[in-house]
Amino acid sequence: MLPASNRLRRSDDFRRAVRSGRRAGRRAVVLHLLVRDDRADDAPAAPARVGFVVNKAVGNAVLRNRVHRRLRAVLATRLPDLPAGSLTVVRALPSSASASYDELAADVDGALRRILDPR
């Protein structure tokens, strides 16, 4: 379970992360990451926040909830790897319904590596 301080809730935050953030896609997920640096130097760093988009293309409600739970568990263990104050949106693709936990974790890790890798 994600702590309340790490949950992305406002639609404006989702929209900003998807439109302005960096994007990396894999077989089962597309990950959008927006690194924000709009804080003052003496202000404490805001926690990284994560949100999920699992629409009806993934499957019925049971499959969508299963995918959402798995992705939430994967991202909960990756929170320390995310930059402070960042906004992350994980969009599940239809193939995520048949993916195992390990496959989802590998897809999320691959997308994170691609986004966070300095070029």
| φ, ψ at 58 (rounded to 5°) | -70, -35
Domains and CATH numbers, the chain: 4-36+47-116 (3.30.230.10)
Please answer whether residues 115 and 24 qualify as being in contact, where contact means their C-beta atoms are separated by less than 8 angstroms.
yes
pLDDT on residue 41: 58
pLDDT digits (tens, 9 = 90+) for 85-106: 999 999 999 999 999 999 999 9
- Can you name the residues that pair with 23 across neighbouring β-strands? 32
pLDDT on residue 67: 98
pLDDT on residue 30: 98
pLDDT on residue 119: 65
- In angstroms, the CA 29 to CA 58 distance is 11
114 band by pLDDT with thresholds 50, 70 and 90: very high
Tokens for 73?
């568990």
Closest CA to 66 of 101, 39, 90: 101
- In angstroms, the CA 67 to CA 95 distance is 10
Buried b (16+ CB within 10 A) or exposed e, 17-42: bbeebebbebebbbbbbbbbeeeeee
The chain-wide mean pLDDT, for the chain, equals: 93
pLDDT digits (tens, 9 = 90+) for 15-73: 999 999 999 999 999 999 999 766 555 567 889 999 999 999 999 999 999 999 999 99
